[in-house]
Amino acid sequence: MTAEPVAEPNRGFSLVEVIVALSLLGVVMMSLAGAAALGLSQMTKARQDLQYSADVQQVADSLVGVGWNNVTAGSSNIRGRPVVWSLATLSPNSQQLTVVVERRGQANTSAVYSDTVMLYLAKPQVQ
7 pLDDT tier (thresholds 50, 70, 90): low
- pLDDT at res. 80: 82
36 pLDDT tier (thresholds 50, 70, 90): very high
3-class DSSP assignment, residue 43? helix
- Nearest 5°: the CA angle 118, 105, 101 is 25
> What are the helix and strand counts (H, E) for the chain?
1, 4
Q: How many percent of the chain have pLDDT more than 90?
A: 28
38 pLDDT tier (thresholds 50, 70, 90): very high
The residues with which 15 forms a beta bridge, in sequence order, are: none
The residues with which 96 forms a beta bridge, in sequence order, are: 88, 120
The mean per-residue pLDDT over the stretch 91-96 comes to: 88
> Which string of b and e fits 5-15 if b means at least 16 CB within 10 Å?
eeeeeeeeeee
Please tell me the pTM assigned to this model. 0.63
Residues across the chain: 127
Q: Hey, which of 30-34, 84-88, 107-111 has the most confident mean pLDDT?
A: 30-34
